[in-house]
Amino acid sequence: MGEFVRLEITDGIGTIRLERPPVNALNTQVQEELREAAQAAATDPSVRAVVVHGAGKHFAAGADITEFTTVTYPEMVARAGALSSAFDAVARIPKPVVAAITGYALGGGCELALACDWRVIAEDAKLGQPEIKLGIIPGAGGTQRLARLIGPAKAKDLIFSGRMVDSEEALRIGLADRVVPAAEVYETAVALVKQYTTGPALALRAAKQAIDGGLSLDLASGLALESHLFAGLFATDDRLEGTTAFVEKRKPEFSGS
């Protein structure tokens, strides 16, 4: 698809693969290619689940800092929204999405991982938001998604200090969902989402929208969103198949419609 980011589709799983050696640094070109790959995965009906993976040793070691040394304030004001929205394109993929992390996931790399539904990381992986050490803060969702995932106190610890966490701590605080040997990270991530490739796609989409959308709402509004999405699924073929299969005591065969 792009020079540094590709979407590869196999058996219903779309792999968004970053390949910008040596550490998959996230420059402006990678940012826009990532947006394009995310939008393609979101709209392609043959993609039922997504794995975000960094080719080589590292997931993504962060932004290309060489771009930051010369950029001016007016230029960054114009660019910051595009940077955040590129990562948001990954978060808005209406399908199950897992990050497969080896090596470093730092700065923008960690923010990319946070935009996914789950994170499978290597035993020797390192994650963190070190932007404070550059005199800046995370600018692609780190302050918002990290706090929502692990709580504001732990997020402040990581962001204020800029320190890296290892796999043991990442699992303990909820930043990682599974820890496996580096050689098994991608296969484990694929196995995690494989179960959803034959699931009810519209119901999975609604469930993700209800959970993610409800995080920014008060309880009453979240419940209203849930009720709206719940009712809408009664117009789907998969709802009829699922309920009929239950009554008939057989395994449902979902079509994704």
What gap in Å lies between CA 194 and CA 209, rounded to an integer?
A: 20
**115 φ, ψ to 5°?**
-75, -10
- 111 an active-site residue? yes
Q: Which residues of 29-44 are buried (b: 16+ CB within 10 A; e: fewer)?
A: ebbbbbbbbbebbbee
Q: Alpha carbon of 106 to those of 63, 64, 163, 164, 204: distances in Å?
A: 9, 11, 10, 8, 29
Question: Catalytic: which of 36, 67, 111, 168?
Answer: 111
Q: Are the C-beta atoms of residues 80 and 127 closer than 8 Å to each other?
A: no
Q: Which amino acid, residue 249?
A: K
- Tokens 């698809």 label which residue? 1
**The token pair that represents 19 in the structure block:** 């390949």
67 is catalytic: no
| 3-state secondary structure (DSSP) of residue 190 | helix
DSSP state of 76: H
Written as one letter, the residue type at 36 is: E
Q: Catalytic pick from 8, 36, 131, 226?
A: 131
Show the CA angle centred on residue 205, arms to residues 142 and 53, nearest 5°: 50
Q: Is 145 left (phi over 0), alpha (psi -120 to 50) or beta?
A: alpha
Q: Are strands 97-101 and 118-122 parallel, antiparallel or unpaired?
A: parallel
Residues belonging to the active site: 111, 131
